[in-house]
Amino acid sequence: MIQRLRSAIPYILLTLLTTPILIGYIWLIISSVSIRTYGLRPEGLTLENWSFLTAPIRSRPGIWQVLFSTLAFAIPLGLLDATISSMAGYALSRLKFPGRRMFLSFTIILHAFPSATLLIAIFFVLRAVKLYDSILGVVLVSVSLSLPLGIWLMKGFYDNVSWDIEMAALIDGCSRLRTWWSVFLPIIRPGLAALLIFSFLGGWGAYIIPYTFLVTASIQPISVFLQSLTGDYTFVNYGVVTAVGLFQLTPVLIFYLFTQRYLLNLYSGGMKGGA
């Protein structure tokens, strides 16, 4: 009996620690279908909160417009990040060229270095090249800020591929490019897919960069849209806010469920064990 109690202790502690997190998500779901909530108790079930799907909220852009802007930002971000990282990672992992060491040092310094401090400088650069308040500008900024991590992760994946496979391909007469395309890419595909999803989700939930560099409401992504819903009336309609929030959160959770194993690796910054 005492033995059983003792083995239950970790479960009890974990449940206590985890409950506050779970409550937030439960509230999000309950509130999105209620007129209002007191704590977790809903008062009056309704689907009215979800009417934003068909009709715009006040004078804001409609949700499908917002969705389009978000995808126009997140999809190029994911594709560019994955493409460039997979190529650069290969070069840095397998090729010898002058400046390689320095390039790797810069990459890891940029990776360890939090990019938020660079926002002010980026603001000037964007204005100088006339990309301020354009989706292209935000995509370019976000890609360049996420590349150090992407390159570093990809290099890690390539480093784990055996040298013999590559040697065999080269001896059989493959060019480097061909080796990369038909030998390496199939091997690292799971990692590449995870990086693609990771950086897509990064764009999907991004707030600070679009908020800072996009001012036109019609091209702002969903995070900025959602935040603006909580900002400007004195009484926030939590029903609508949570419905939009759930709309944004659902794809993230679905992706997370399916790619959890790979994403875990990426969220830790690609550091293996003792790093």
Partner 1 sequence: MFLSPYTIKIFTNTVTYVVFTLVCFSVGMALIVSLLTTSINKTAGTIFRALWLLPRITPSVIYIIMIQYMLADAPSGILSQFVTGVLGGQAKNWLYSYPMVAVIITNGLIGTSFGMIIFTSAIESIPPEYVMAARVDGASAWQIIRRITIPLIRWPLLFVTAYQTLSLLASFEQILLLTNGGPGFYTTEVWALHAYHTALSNYLGNTEFGFGSALAAVLVVIGIIASVVYLRVFRFNEMVAEPKIEVL
* Candidate segments 48-56, 74-82, 130-138, 253-261, binder of partner 1 by CB under 8 A: 253-261
- Which DSSP letter does residue 214 get? -
The CA dihedral of 108, 114, 116, 120, to the nearest 10 degrees, is -60
Using DSSP's 3-state secondary structure scheme, residue 237 falls into coil
Strand, helix or coil at 160? coil
User: Which CB atom, from 181 or from 207, has the smaller least distance to partner 1?
Assistant: 207
User: CB-wise, 44 or 269, nearer to partner 1?
Assistant: 269
Report in angstroms the alpha-carbon separations of 202 from 42, 189, 269: 32, 20, 14
Strand-pairing partners, residue 45, are 34
Binding mask 154-183 for partner 1 (x = CB under 8 A): ---------x--xx--x-----x-------
Q: Does 267 bind partner 1 (CB under 8 A)?
A: yes
66-95 residues near partner 1, rule: CB under 8 A: 93-95
Binding partner 1 by CB under 8 A: which of 64, 207, 254, 258? 207
Alpha-carbon gap, residue 15 to 67, rounded angstroms: 36
Residues 25, 64, 181, 258: which binds partner 1 (CB under 8 A)? 25
In this chain, which of 67, 87, 131, 252 binds partner 1, going by CB under 8 A? Answer: 252
Cβ neighbours for 193, distance < 8 A, ≥ 6 positions apart: 259, 262
Neighbour-count burial of 150, counting CB atoms closer than 10 A to its CB (0-12 exposed, 13-18 middle, 19+ buried)? buried
Backbone angles phi, psi at 57, to 5 degrees: -85, 120
Q: Are 238 and 39 in contact (CB under 8 A)?
A: no
Of 100 and 189, nearer to partner 1 (C-beta) is: 100
109: tokens are 């310094």
258 touching partner 1, by CB under 8 A: no
Shortest Å, Cβ 249 to partner 1: 6
Q: Choose which of 121, 173, 186, 233 interacts with partner 1 (CB under 8 A).
A: 121
Alpha helices in 42-99 (DSSP H): 63-94
Contact letters (x/-) for partner 1, 137-156, by CB under 8 A?
Answer: --------------------
**CA 116 to CA 218: how far, in whole Å?**
25
Question: Total binding residues for partner 1 by CB under 8 A?
Answer: 78
Helix orientation angle between 185-205 and 135-159, rounded to the nearest 10 degrees: 140
**CB of 230: closest distance to partner 1 in angstroms?**
6
Within 183-202, which residues bind partner 1 (CB under 8 A)?
201
When asked if residue 58 is in the footprint of partner 1 (CB under 8 A), the reply is no
Question: By CB under 8 A, is residue 117 in contact with partner 1?
Answer: yes
Query: Would you count residue 268 as binding partner 1 (CB under 8 A)?
Result: yes
Binding status of residue 208 toward partner 1 by CB under 8 A:
yes
Q: Are 131 and 244 in contact (CB under 8 A)?
A: no
The residue among 157 and 238 lying less far from partner 1, judged by its C-beta, is: 238
Question: Among 35, 37, 46, 87, which residue interacts with partner 1 (rule: CB under 8 A)?
Answer: 37
Q: Is 217 in the site for partner 1 (CB under 8 A)?
A: no
